[in-house]
Amino acid sequence: MAPPLLLLKDVSLTFGGRPLLDGAELSVSPGERLGLVGRNGSGKSTLLKIAAGIVEPDDGSRFLQPGATVRYLAQEPDFGGVATALAYVQAGLAPGDDAHRAAYLLDALGVEADRDPSKLSGGEARRVALARALAPEPDILLLDEPTNHLDLPAIEWLENELRSTRSALVLISHDRRFLETLTRATLWLDRGRTRRLDQGFAGFEAWRDEIFAEEERGLHKLERRIEAEKDWLRYGVTGRRKRNMGRMRRLEDMREARRSARGPQGLVKLAVTEAETSGVLVIEAKSVSKSYGERAIVKDFSTRIARGDRIGLVGANGAGKTTLVNLLTGALAPDEGRVRIGSNVAIATIDQRRATLDPNVSLKDALTGGGGDTVDVGGQTKHVMSYMKDFLFSPEQAGSPVHALSGGERGRLLLARALSQPANLLVLDEPTNDLDLETLDLLQEMVADYPGAVILVSHDRDFLDRTVDAVVVAEGDGRWVEYAGGYSDMVAQRGHGVGAKEPPARERRPAAAAAAPSSPAPRKKLSFKDQHALETLPERIAELAAQIAALEVALADPGLYARDPKAFARTSEMLEAASAERAAAEDRWLELELMREELAAG
């Protein structure tokens, strides 16, 4: 095994009297694909900065192989002294690096090379910083939330780029699909210490849960031993007559161990305040269109959203997702068509821009509306301090202004506010931004259990797969098409992800009625091969059914295995093969029959 390029050993760091890192370790070998995971605030970003040589730990060591190159994705890049985005990216190149790669990366990430860096938005600045990190193709890439501010086409492009890089990767991300695609090992930072799993992120959560379960079993055993020692002190004959000081010390040691056991960090407790039940119909849109100047944002879009539906909206940045949400919720009037909102519909919204938060009010006032000390949640009155604790805020933060909160904390505050409002329609605009994986799990469960309707705008493919039952996709030129299922189902039906340009052959959910694609030209009839298969498959399916029935009769003979084990095994294999062939033939016939019906109707 090759020696590590980068090694952190026994790293410790204390912030504000609290140990953030306590003997943490990190090893990066050539070609490594490592996911760094942990709760928000656990110290992941700090550990990555120590690995990059930006932060000095209180204790421990950092070793970097001589000549090895490291690039760190800066959260807030410094554009001082450069006139263009291209100049900033090229400034990170070393002699011998490909100078053309800087321009290629900026183009792929959708940033014009001659843009003035001082005038870039936050998202554009992140993309330029990402281009600078990727351009030199270093030995080690340290990427902290690289998908932040990227839309789905850019995320999928970045996955492909990183999949083909020769650089070793250390990734921090809340995007499960991104981690599952790219990682081959996982480093878990928990309560200041690190544990390594030599599997990608797909195997991490089951492994983590088993560790938590083992810790719980250990604490339970410790508590039983403490109770046994207390009983001895109370009732033991020797204990009444003369205290055994050694045993007393052991009891005190166990109590101290129980007190100091730092269990898993707190979990957000999500509860929803429900409004009066809406009618079955929540939203009905018929032939809705909206344009700005010559540009069509929504064109001839129809849908019907009922109580309990979960609808996901996906598309590239600037495709018009927020405009479509505003049309559907009545916040924006369409140029053509109409939107009908059902009876008793009450809407709660989480805005991705955090625009609903006044940066100067305190956390407490943001939750209570500036009056009183209580919050109504789920039909119950809770003290604001208790409600803050449910969302992992400390009592000391009650008076902190909103602008002092981190991005993740502002996300949790918006969740807390939205979930305390009586509503039967939740509109979630990028709710997963800055949330850690555990909070995403709880938000997912809340959405799944929510009795009302949900409209979700998200670039998080895994979250969409776990929550929505239909996906509406921006196809370009104002066309929006609705597909049944989650993001992966949409890709399977559409034949490609959001980044691809080709329009789908047809819509997948009858409630939506978007304009039919003008190109490529639709097929007029089945090919000769497909027509022949459509005609002959029923006969083959019948033959396979008879063959399966005969094999099942043979296997039903209780003496077959005793007489001829080889014949029994051979017959079993034949049955399995025939069953698989029949299932495939039935699926193919159904696919061709649907195609024939569609062509006949068109």
Binding positions for ATP: 38-45, 315-322
How far apart CA 333 and CA 536 sit, in angstroms, is: 54
Strand partners, 225: none
How far apart CA 101 and CA 87 sit, in angstroms, is: 12
Q: Are 105 and 135 in contact (CB under 8 A)?
A: yes
Q: 3-class SS at 380? A: strand
Strand partners, 196: 187
Q: Could you tell me how far CA 560 lies from the centroid of its own chain?
A: 53
Helix (H) or strand (E) holding 225: helix 204-235
Please count the other Cβ atoms lying within 10 Å of the Cβ belonging to residue 540. Answer: 15
**Residue 239 tokens, joined:** 């204990």
**Residue 273 tokens, joined:** 């305040």
**Residue 312 tokens, joined:** 């996901």
Residue ranges at the known binding site = 38-45, 315-322
How far apart CA 62 and CA 8 sit, in angstroms, is: 5
- Neighbour-count burial of 393, counting CB atoms closer than 10 A to its CB (0-12 exposed, 13-18 middle, 19+ buried): buried
How far apart CA 232 and CA 239 sit, in angstroms, is: 7
Please count the other Cβ atoms lying within 10 Å of the Cβ belonging to residue 568. Answer: 17
For Cα atoms 442, 443, 445, give the angle at the middle one, nearest 5 degrees: 65
How far apart CA 358 and CA 366 sit, in angstroms, is: 8
**Residue 443 tokens, joined:** 């938000």
